């Protein structure tokens, strides 16, 4: 084996340190999806698109921002990607509401509302470290 190959052989725990995890939590309203976000590892940012953070109001290492417009989601994603925001865990609360904001934005831009659905499917660039909560 070459030295390059030998230097790249590591334990799985070493390899995943910077990869992060992408998790989708799905469940009925009141099942505890938001509450479980308070257990996310490290410094956590919750990007909230719905009023439902009461269950984690006293959470440690958790900060949140409420967004009402799709461009805000895209701007936050860009800031995370370029390092202007630094968090260990990013939570989108909720994916359902996020998709509605993105769809409304694309419908406003498009002459044919059907085209907006295709644009939303491409969506914003999501940073590597991502935890997602979805509600029904």
Q: What is the pLDDT of residue 116?
A: 67
pTM: 0.69
pLDDT for 50-79, tens place per residue?
888 989 999 999 999 999 988 888 899 899
Please name each of the domains of the chain with its CATH number: 19-135 (3.40.50.300)
HSE-CB at 117 with a 13 A cutoff on CA atoms is: 3
| Rounded Cα distance, 33 and 30, in Å | 8
pLDDT category at 132 given cuts 50, 70, 90 is very low
CB-CB contact of 45 with 64 (8 Å): yes
């Amino acid at each position: 084996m070459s030295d390059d190959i030998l230097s790249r052989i590591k334990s799985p725990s070493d390899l995943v340190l910077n990869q992060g995890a992408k998790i989708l939590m799905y469940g009925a309203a009141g099942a505890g999806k938001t509450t479980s976000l308070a257990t996310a590892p490290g410094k956590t940012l919750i990007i909230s698109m719905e009023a439902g953070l009461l269950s984690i109001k006293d959470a440690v290492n958790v900060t949140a921002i409420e967004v009402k417009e799709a461009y805000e989601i895209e701007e936050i994603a860009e800031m995370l990607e370029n390092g202007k925001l630094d968090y260990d865990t990013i939570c989108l609360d909720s994916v359902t509401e996020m998709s509605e904001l993105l769809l409304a934005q694309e419908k406003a831009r498009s002459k044919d509302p059907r085209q907006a659905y295709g644009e939303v499917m491409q969506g914003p660039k999501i940073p590597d470290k991502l935890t997602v909560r979805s509600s029904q």
